[in-house]
Structures are given as structure tokens and as C-alpha cells.
Amino acid sequence: MSINQLGVVKRNIVRADKAAVKKLGKFGVATIHEAMGRVGLMKPYMRPIYKGARICGTAVTILLQPGDNWMMHVAAEQLQPGDVAVAACTTDNFDGFFGDLLATSFQARGALGLIIDAGVRDVDELEKMGFAVFSRAIHAKGTIKATLGSVNIPVICAGALVNPGDVVVADADGVVVVPAFMAQQVADAAEKRESFEGEKRDKFAAGVLGLDLYKMREPLEKAGLKYIN
Amino acid sequence: MSINQLGVVKRNIVRADKAAVKKLGKFGVATIHEAMGRVGLMKPYMRPIYKGARICGTAVTILLQPGDNWMMHVAAEQLQPGDVAVAACTTDNFDGFFGDLLATSFQARGALGLIIDAGVRDVDELEKMGFAVFSRAIHAKGTIKATLGSVNIPVICAGALVNPGDVVVADADGVVVVPAFMAQQVADAAEKRESFEGEKRDKFAAGVLGLDLYKMREPLEKAGLKYIN
Amino acid sequence: MSINQLGVVKRNIVRADKAAVKKLGKFGVATIHEAMGRVGLMKPYMRPIYKGARICGTAVTILLQPGDNWMMHVAAEQLQPGDVAVAACTTDNFDGFFGDLLATSFQARGALGLIIDAGVRDVDELEKMGFAVFSRAIHAKGTIKATLGSVNIPVICAGALVNPGDVVVADADGVVVVPAFMAQQVADAAEKRESFEGEKRDKFAAGVLGLDLYKMREPLEKAGLKYIN
Amino acid sequence: MSINQLGVVKRNIVRADKAAVKKLGKFGVATIHEAMGRVGLMKPYMRPIYKGARICGTAVTILLQPGDNWMMHVAAEQLQPGDVAVAACTTDNFDGFFGDLLATSFQARGALGLIIDAGVRDVDELEKMGFAVFSRAIHAKGTIKATLGSVNIPVICAGALVNPGDVVVADADGVVVVPAFMAQQVADAAEKRESFEGEKRDKFAAGVLGLDLYKMREPLEKAGLKYIN
Amino acid sequence: MSINQLGVVKRNIVRADKAAVKKLGKFGVATIHEAMGRVGLMKPYMRPIYKGARICGTAVTILLQPGDNWMMHVAAEQLQPGDVAVAACTTDNFDGFFGDLLATSFQARGALGLIIDAGVRDVDELEKMGFAVFSRAIHAKGTIKATLGSVNIPVICAGALVNPGDVVVADADGVVVVPAFMAQQVADAAEKRESFEGEKRDKFAAGVLGLDLYKMREPLEKAGLKYIN
Amino acid sequence: MSINQLGVVKRNIVRADKAAVKKLGKFGVATIHEAMGRVGLMKPYMRPIYKGARICGTAVTILLQPGDNWMMHVAAEQLQPGDVAVAACTTDNFDGFFGDLLATSFQARGALGLIIDAGVRDVDELEKMGFAVFSRAIHAKGTIKATLGSVNIPVICAGALVNPGDVVVADADGVVVVPAFMAQQVADAAEKRESFEGEKRDKFAAGVLGLDLYKMREPLEKAGLKYIN
């Protein structure tokens, strides 16, 4: 199955290990991105449609055609509890592909939210439902149901490659994709990273400077930094 | 009176029927846009300046020159209770054409809010006043009073044609313009559309799929959709 | 010390007069911008990362290299109570140069907030800490510590020149920079300006039109404005 | 026929007077825009796809759906010699709706070019054919033929209202729309305006300053301009 | 080797079949995109830096860090005759990562050009050298050599997934990526597609309408299209 | 004289040394930017309005108000042979502030070109006249003459600080500003830098790799770069 292939629905996908997903859910997007070696982020234009939205789940991917949300309905059937719908489009398009009716359907299937590189609508209702959505735009523009895209193929969403079953974590800092096969390893690395942060925070709070904590004075001098009065 | 004519104020405009406006006020922007046949939306860059802002009223249109808000004062006199000021500019400009003083004046005239394809300022005060504003930008940049624009001529605001007297509805999903002569018809269509939504929502909540509810399986197969494992 | 010079840290800067800074803190960004003669604003893409963020303090300037936040740590040492860190970058870059650890350090030094023409992360934590940040982007993207920038040199941040020690005021309407030597004069002018606003607001609220309050009818007629029916 | 109505083709449209169109063809876009009273321009993102492209003709309007160029074929039949196709889209979309095959068809009908608020492709071939195109984007992205738009209804293209039959003039400075009923009047005003320019150009070339030619020194002084050394 | 992994250089990559690459070189980007089933395009912001630039070759991929072109030099060693360097960046960055010196080195290795989702400089010299470049920006901004990226890993460049060895074709219409394993099949499909175009072009030139050629009148009527006078 | 002060014209400015300006004119923008220590560039959205445009001269600065080109005429009088007009605006504005009449006047004064962080028009005529212009936009939109800006004060143009008398160099790679007092030093550094390039170019052309020329293999290994097969 190659990327962006049209007209295909894959039924059986390998979802990331549940325990690993659960563990990843404890960490923020910035921490996970660092734990992965500073990769995996979607573009920063992806924003939560309401304050406090947060998601951690396994991706069911959707490839949409511009102005056409037919594949959303096809995707609904493939959603399982704990999944996150991740929708890309074959071209830049800001229409409102998704609203409260589809959210009701997705939520009934157990889906936790939607990551969409396009627009959504009914955002007040989506907030009331507690259905988390991260999108590129909010737009009331309606769509049709006429052209085939795909479900559960590899897609590129907001600059990030997403394979079905990958873990997608989203919070106020953005959206990060963890490949399914790395989920446990990244969760462990994130945990380790976070364990160091508390101590650092205490030191910073006590007035210790990063210059001293990270022993930067010498390398800065070596790099040529000059202090003047 | 042709579009964008400069230096003209029209005093007597035909406002949309009050009952129709009131009825339109019950529906969301997405619903009204659909009820109109999927047209009438402004560009999605128009956003509420505070959460919860909502407007439904009759348009008093304003054509501004860049960096000049003189016509705002001319428009104030033409505002009547239930009106919404709709301001376009002869060129792309993000200055703060409108703040709390003008809002006090507009509110005293009975205006419900402002839709402006440009910038505004004093946004915290505007929120406290409950004066709803949808704009392209928030910018403290002040303006002058030196060049003639017009009031109550047809304008293009954020990609939508607005005639004075048209109904303008704005909520978290964007801004839609309903021509005055279609107000009642669109309100009725919106009502009808919404009456169907409750039933659908219940079905989706109960787990019925859109694939079945909308009988999409056959057309999808016909279109060539392939399921693989 | 010329603008954007790399590899320099200035230790002793002349901060604006404390009383003037305090007085400026009473006024909004729009008022101060007007009091300065309508100059001094940063570009409107600079937005608060949380609702209610507000800053008024003296600038410690930082020049960053793309994807590199080393200078943030160098700057921390130069911060004094009442300061605001103002960070520019040598090129357009949206990475997350700043998060909760650095904020803890800056806050421990007495800094009030950060103005950054780039991205930040950990925005939920920053809000909880009450550390005010105005930025161009929110992005989880991490940075390295390898290249020299500068601290306390003149920089251009979001289109505005900022000299170390200048007063920076930021609120929901944007960010304005008041040169240190003008701080008292601008504060006085802002006070004067605001004293006139109350009376005007009352008149507008009572239904007086700007057309009459500002005696605009004659100049509008002279300019050729035509009223039609 | 209201703006942006979907599913309609108007066969008989009133084209602007041929002599007026011909006369307008002698002037540049900037001159015509000034002659109209500084209105009528499309947004500056509309650019010629090759150097030297220039059009002056009568508009056959097209309303497209995103990713769908079906209406291009419907429009072809309505084109007459001297026409310009003017294509708007119901939403922002950058796909390549038009290429050399359609251009061959349009050219066979006598059309002079295309103004499109979207993308086109085969731009090298279009240049070789001498088929002038002004567009928002160049994109190889293909489109489908599945959804109804309209032909020869009023549309908003790149921020300008275009009625079928209006005169559209495009050159290196942009695109301007002259309402059919104003064509002669605007052509005359453009001629008059241009007749003054030659003399001015000679004076400027001879070293006369605008300050003196336009007698600006007094008004500048009155406005408060200060000369310092 | 996962996508965007940092600090890795793959030496032996499987390049697409030479004959297939040669055959693909005969077709335009739009044709190839259609032949692939309408996928594979980069975003339309990727533009040739000079008129007439055209490339068809096998990808050597490069992952850059912002403001750092160290990996360009690492990549040079991996380039073989007929290759195209395809450079992505870990974040949006417009710096000038590439100029005439690197182009001299790449050209000496037999590389045909560069596709870069960032900026380049020395564009006049690049044109003189006949070294084809498609980029997102032109920017004189210099870069450093301090941070590891990777060479010959899968990257996402301007929204398209590129695996090392894939065929990249670029012309005035944009950039398309053909996976190595599909190269022959796509070349054949493109040939077939183009063979149909000549006949169609002749018919269009003779005045036959697409409405008749493609038998669209009936489906348009069925879809509800209405002709009015 | 502080930055962006309104209503002021400075008559006597200190222009950079003529010999230094002449020498700077021999080098490209990228070379000068590097010779300055990688600073001084305007944003990359500043582009030449025609291919081959190139400028090197001393700045006469202009601060414009949105939609108002009055100060252009004031500036004309301050221009001397070898000068370049550098125009900033108090806010983002894309109007056509400048066309062939003003260019005739500027050229008669001996000015070499215009750098403007806004729009221009009559671009075909400007090319024919050989009057070099670098701008942010091309737009036919006309402007008025009603509001005071300033001439020969420090301005920020496209993100760069420009003092009157500074050297401005512009070519296909962008625009760089050299402070007047550094002109000779930067010209010398540019010369030195360029003298090294010829030798490097020969080596690259002969197939030497940057890896070896710059002795990068060891530092890359130290940084952790891994070669795999």
C-alpha cells in the first residue's frame, strides 16, 4: 500500500500497543517530540479548536479530496475505541469537512478526536461534546460526497507522515506522531526525560542559572562570546 | 448605486423583514449556509474577537479607505436598533479602525455588532461591553479621518457581497450573508434542515453508521472503493 | 554597538525610569501608541499565548539564531526584577525557543514576561505560572545550543526597533515599544489622552454622534460626501 | 439571478459595447482603475503566468467547486470572440483547473484569455499558444468533473464583483473590472487622464518637482511638515 | 530506517531503473501526476528559480536543520550522475542553504539539480551554470555547519514523501515524486495518456466542445444544470 | 531624531563614502551579507520587479502612511545622484505608491532605484526606463496625498533598520543594508571573501568534496554521524 493511494480502505491495521499508548498519554507533546529525537511534529498551523483539547490515541487515517467528506463516513466504520481520526487532503483545502453529526458518529464508535489538515465546523457543539479536534481552519463551508479518497493508508498530514495505527498525541503545544513500532521506546524515553525536569525546575526556581547548571560559560567563551559594559 | 462607489451615503435602505431576521437568529452559520445552497460565507479568516460572540442583524455597510476610519462616524448616524455594521476596505489593511469609543456610539444607536475585513482594537473593552465583533485582525494601530469612503452601498467584505439591509449572521463557525429578499425563505429552509438533524444525531449516537443511514455502500462500491485486509 | 551585532552581551544597560514605567503600566497599548504619535507598534501577528496576559517592563533584548536558544540562558543572567525579555531572530523561524523551564529561571530573576518574534512551547504551564508571553507562534519544536547571538544590543522584533532598557507594553491589542528616553513624556501624554476619553464615552453613550462631537459634518461636505435617499 | 447561485447557465448576456472595449484596451490597468475613481481592482495575488500577458475583453463568468473543473467545459460553449473567461471558486482552492487542452478549446471559440482565482497548469504550453492567463497559483494538481457550479452569473473573483458582460482588463499591474454600463465613460475618462500624463512626464523629466507641479509646499507646511538640517 | 531520523547517511540506495527515468523525462509534471492517479505532487509554493528550469532524476534525500547546511556537503559525496538532491528541513526555514559553490560541487558529481523546501541564493549564477533549482524561497541569508541532519533517509519535502532513489520530475507546473518501484509503470501510463491528447487537441482546435467530446450534456442535465436566457 | 518620527524632513544627511559605495557595487548581496557577519538583510519577500534589476546606492529614507504617497514627492527633492529611495510604511500596506511618473522625477534627480516595503505599479514602464525597483507587491491600487510621514529619518524597511545615508545593495538574491560608517570595512571584507571563492570554485569543479576541502569528516564523526549501507 503506497502513500496517498486512492480508492482503498484497509480494514485490519496494527495499532500501537495499548499500554504504550496509555503511557504516552501522560506526557506533553513537547516532551514526546524531544524523546523521539526532535522529530515527528505536525506544522504549527494545527491548533486545538477549543482551549484544553487534548488527545492521545491510535490513528485511523483518512485521505480526503478537496470539498468532499465522503471518506469520513467510510472511516467511521473503521474506528475503534481509543482511536483518533487523522485526516489529510490531496490538496490545500479549508472547507468544513466535519461537524457535530459526524462527531456524534465517531464518538459512538469510541473515537477520541480528530486531527485534520483542513477545516471543521460546529466548533461550539464539538466543545460541548468534549470531542477534541485539532485543525488548520474553522470554516462553515459544506462539502459533498462524490469522490473517492482512502482510509487507513499512509498519509502526510500537516507535514508529518502518519501510518494507520501510529500514536498521535495532541495538546496546546501542537501534534506529534509516534510510529507504532516505537511507541514503547518513546514512552520510556519521555518518562526518563520528564524525571529529570523536576529537579531542574527546582534549581531554576531557586535562582540557579542555566549557564551554571548546564556548564555553558566555557563553551560560550570558546565560541567567542564577549561581555561588554 | 454601483459597488464600491466612493463618497456616497444612502439614507433609506430596505432592511430584511424583522420576523425573518429573528428566525434566522435561531440557527447557526453552518446551517444557514447549507440552507442557502452552500453559498454566502465570508472567508474563514474572519474570526470573533472573543469566545461566545454571536450576531444576527441587518447590514449597514461601510466602505473604508486604508488607515482611515472617517466613515465609521458617518455610518453611526445610519445605524438603527438591530443593525450590524459591515465594514470593507478598498485594499487589504489591518489597522485598528474601531475601538471602545465607536462601539459605545454604535451600541447607543442599537447596533448589535461589527463585521470588519480589517483590524480592531480595545478588544478587552469590547468584550466587557458585549459588543460582538468579527474581524480579520486585532491591531492597536490608529487611523485618521481624511478620505471619503461610502455608507450603505454594496460592498465586498471578506469575499462576500453585502448589500445594505441584508441579514448577516456570525458565530464561532464564521460569517454568512443572507440577501434581504431571501431572508424568509432561507430561515424556513434552515428550520427544515435543522428539524432533520435531531433524528440523525440520535441515530449516529446509537451507533448507526452514515454508510447505512445515507445508503452509501452501493455508490461507494460503484465508484470503485476497494476494501482490503 | 550596532544593530544585530552577533556575539556580544552588554551588561550595563540604562533602564527607563521606574516611575515612568509604572505609570505606563496603567494604560493600554492603543492609548500609548496614540500618545507616542501613532508609532512604536510591533506587527499584529504578535499575540498573547493566553487570555489576559499583560506586560509592562523594561527590555532585555536577545538576538537568536534559527533553531538555537543558547542566548536565552545567557540572557537570564542579565534579567532584573521588572524586566521583560524581548527576543528577535536573525531570520524567520517558528521553533519553540522557550518553555516552562526557562520561564522558571526568568521568573526567579524577577522577569515579568517574554516578547518573542518566534515560537514558544509549554503554553499551558506558562499560563499556570502567570508568566506572560507574546509570540508569533506556538510550536513544540525543540532547539539546540550551538550558535552565538547577542544580548542587550538593539534588535528589530516583529518590525519594531527595541533598544535594551526601552519600555515594552503588551496587552490584548498587541505590543508597543516606548524608547527609554521618552518614557515619562509618553506616560504623561497617555494620561492626558485617557482623561479626555471618559467624557467622550459618556457623550457617545448618551447618543451624541461623532459627526457632531468632532464637528465633522462641514469637512465631510467639503470633501464632497453626498447623501442620497 | 443572485450572486453565486449554483447550477445555472445564462445563455444570453449583455456584453459591453465593442467600441468601448476596444478603447479600454489601449490603456493600462492602473490608468483604468484611476479613471473609475480608484475602484474595481482584483487582489494583487492575481499574477500573469508569463511575462507580457495582457487581456482586454468581455467577461463570461464561471463559478467552480473546489477540485472540480466541470463548469469550464460548460463555459466553453458560451464563449464568443473577444470574451475572457473569469473563474471564481466557492472556496479557496489552488488546484490546476485549466491547461492546454481547455485553452485550445477556449481559443477555438475566440476567447482571449482566462482570469482565475485558483490554479492552472501547462503554463509553458499556454505561453506558446499566446493564451493569456492571470491566476492565483500554478499547480499541476488535476481536477474532477462531478459537481455543478454555474456560468454567467455574478461572481466575486479575487475580491472583485464581476457580472457577465463586464470588461476585464489585465496587464503586468493586475486585473481591473469595468462594469459594462460604465465602459464608455471609463474609456473616455482614461483617455483624458492619459492625455495629461505626457505633459507631466516631460516636466518631471526636465527636473520639475511634484512639490511645485502640484503646488504641495503650502499644504505640506499647513499640515505641519518640518524641515530640519 | 524511519522517516526523519537524524544523524544517519545511507550509502547504498536503490535508484529507479534508468530506462524508466529516461522515459519519465519525456513527460510533463501534470501528465505524470495524472498517470500516477493524481497523487505525488509537492505543494505549489515550490517554484523554479529561473524560467525554463526542468529536472528529471533520481533522488538523493537530505534532511537539514534550520539555518544549517552541513548535510549539503555530506550529501555531495553520495550524489551520482543523474541524481537530484532533494532537501527537506526539520522545520519551516527560508534561509539560503545553497549557492553557486555547492552547485559547482554537485554539478561536478553529475547531479542535475536541487529541490529544496527552503531558500537558496546566488540564483543568477545558478541560472548561468544551468543548474536547475526548485525552491520555496530565494534568500541571501547564510547558514552554519554545526548540527547533524541525515542523507538518504525518507523525508517529507513540501508535503510529499520522498524515498532515496525515487524519481523526481520538476518543470514550470511544479514538482512530482514517482516512487522508484512504480517508475516504469508510471512512465508507460504517461505515454499512453499523452498519446490520447494529440487527437483531443486537434478536435478542440477544430471547435468540438468538451461537452460533446466527453458526452457531458446528459450527466450535466441529470445533475440538474439549468440553462436560462 | 528617533525612529519612525512623523512629520519631519532632514535635509542634510551624511552619505556613505563614494569610493566605498562604488566598491560595494562590485559584490553580490550574499557576499556583502556574509562580509558583514551575516546580518543586514531585508526579509525575502522583497523581490525585483523585473529580471536583472540591481542597485547599489545611498539611502534616502521615506516613511509612508497607508494608502498615501505624499512623502514620495517630498523625498524627490532630497534625492541626489547615486541615491536609492528606501520607503517603509507605518503599517502593512500593498497599495501601488509608486509608478512611472514618480520614477521619471526620481530618475531626473539622479536616483538609481527604489526599495519599498509596499506595492508599486507601471512595472512594465519602470523596466523600460531601467529604473530598478525591489518591492513587496505589484498592485495598481492608487494612493492619496493627505497624511504626513517623514523623509530621511531612521526607518525599518522589510525587517531591516535603514538610516539615511546607509548603503543599500539589491540584486536577485535580495536586499542588504550596510551602515554608512561600516561601508569601507564591509567592502574590504567582501573583496577578501570573494578572492577566496575563485580557488574554492575551481576545486569543487575538479571534484574535490567540501568534506575534504573544509576538513569536515572528523567533526562530523565526532558529532555522531553514522554511515550505513
Instruction: Identify the chains in contact with C, defined as 3+ C-beta pairs within 8 A.
Output: A, B, E, F
Cell 567567542 belongs to residue? A224
Q: State how far Cα C125 lies from the chain centre.
A: 21
> Are C45 and C158 within 8 A, CB to CB?
yes
Contact residues, chain C to chain E, C-beta under 8 Å: 65-68, 90-95, 139, 141, 144, 146-147
Which residue would you say has higher pLDDT here, B28 or E197? Answer: B28
pLDDT at D4: 80
Beta-carbon neighbour count of residue B109 at 10 Å?
20
Q: pLDDT tens digit string along F124-138? A: 999 999 999 999 999
Chain D contact set for F98 (CB, 8 A): none
Instruction: Identify the chains in contact with E, defined as 3+ C-beta pairs within 8 A.
Output: A, C, D, F
- 3-state DSSP assignment of residue A191: helix
> Strand C113-120 relative to strand C132-138: parallel, antiparallel, unpaired?
parallel
Q: Do C121 and A211 touch (CB under 8 A)?
A: no
**Which candidate from E173, E210, E224 shows the least CB-CB separation from D138?**
E173
pLDDT at B4: 80
Q: pLDDT tens digit string along D149-190? A: 999 999 999 999 999 999 999 999 999 999 999 999 999 999
**Cell numbers of D223, please?**
499640515
Low-confidence residues of chain D, pLDDT below 50? none
Chain F contact set for B93 (CB, 8 A): 66-67, 91-93
What is the Cα–Cα distance from E2 to A181, expressed in whole angstroms? 10
pLDDT at E4: 81
Q: pLDDT tens digit string along C20-37? A: 999 999 999 999 999 999
Q: Do A101 and B211 touch (CB under 8 A)?
A: no
Low-confidence residues of chain B, pLDDT below 50? none
Is chain A adjacent to chain D, meaning 3+ CB pairs within 8 angstroms?
Answer: yes
For chain C, the C-alpha Rg in angstroms (whole number) is 20
pLDDT at E189: 97
For chain F, the C-alpha Rg in angstroms (whole number) is 20
Q: Do D38 and F142 touch (CB under 8 A)?
A: yes
Contacts of D60 (CB under 8 A, 6+ apart): D13, D75, D78, D79, D80, D83, D84, D85, D86, D111, D151, D152, D164
Q: Which of B133, B136, B139, B144 is the best substitution to test chain C (most C C-beta atoms within 10 A)? A: B139
Beta-carbon neighbour count of residue C146 at 10 Å?
17
pLDDT at A1: 56
Cell 530618475 belongs to residue? F107
- 3-state DSSP assignment of residue C194: helix
**Which candidate from B11, B73, B122 shows the least CB-CB separation from C209?**
B73
What is the Cα–Cα distance from F17 to F21, expressed in whole angstroms? 6
Q: pLDDT tens digit string along C94-147? A: 999 999 999 999 999 999 999 999 999 999 999 999 999 999 999 999 999 999
- The total number of residues shown for chain D amounts to 229
* Distance from the C172 Cα atom to the nearest Cα atom in chain F, whole angstroms: 18
pLDDT at F5: 87
User: Would you say residue C173 has pLDDT above 90?
Assistant: yes
* Distance from the F70 Cα atom to the nearest Cα atom in chain B, whole angstroms: 13
- 3-state DSSP assignment of residue F102: helix
For chain D, the C-alpha Rg in angstroms (whole number) is 20
Q: Do C141 and E91 touch (CB under 8 A)?
A: yes
What is the Cα–Cα distance from C106 to A177, expressed in whole angstroms? 31
DSSP B222: H
Contacts of E195 (CB under 8 A, 6+ apart): none
* Cα separation values, B70 from B100, C194, D220, Å: 15, 21, 21
> Strand C83-89 relative to strand C113-120: parallel, antiparallel, unpaired?
parallel
* Cα separation values, D155 from B159, D10, D64, D86, Å: 10, 13, 10, 9
User: Would you say residue C3 has pLDDT above 90?
Assistant: no
Report the mean per-residue pLDDT for chain A. Answer: 97
* Distance from the F103 Cα atom to the nearest Cα atom in chain C, whole angstroms: 27
Is chain D adjacent to chain B, meaning 3+ CB pairs within 8 angstroms?
Answer: yes
Is chain A adjacent to chain F, meaning 3+ CB pairs within 8 angstroms?
Answer: no
Nearest to residue B176, comparing CAs of B46, B42, B61, B57? B42
The whole model's pTM is what?
0.97
Chain F contact set for D229 (CB, 8 A): 10-12
In this prediction the ipTM stands at: 0.96
What is the Cα–Cα distance from F42 to F176, expressed in whole angstroms? 6
Report the mean per-residue pLDDT for chain C. Answer: 97
Low-confidence residues of chain F, pLDDT below 50? none
Residue B144 β-bridge partners: B68
Reduced 3-state DSSP string for D79-145: CCCCEEEEEEECCCECCECCCHHHHHHHHHCCCCEEEEEEEECCHHHHHHHCCEEEEEEECCCCCEC
**Which candidate from B39, B92, B161 shows the least CB-CB separation from D90?**
B39
Contact residues, chain D to chain B, C-beta under 8 Å: 2-6, 37-40, 43, 90, 92, 154, 156, 159-161, 179, 182
- Number of helices and strands in chain F (H, E): 8, 12
> Are E180 and E18 within 8 A, CB to CB?
no
Contacts of B57 (CB under 8 A, 6+ apart): B21, B82, B83, B84, B111, B112, B113, B167, B168
Chain E contact set for A5 (CB, 8 A): 37, 39
Chain F contact set for B68 (CB, 8 A): 67
Once rounded to an integer, what is the mean pLDDT over residues E161-167? Answer: 98
What's the farthest any 2 CA atoms get from each other in chain A? Answer: 69
pLDDT at F3: 81
What is the Cα–Cα distance from E144 to B118, expressed in whole angstroms? 40
Chain F contact set for C156 (CB, 8 A): 156, 159-161
Q: Do E144 and C65 touch (CB under 8 A)?
A: yes
Instruction: Identify the chains in contact with F, defined as 3+ C-beta pairs within 8 A.
Output: B, C, D, E
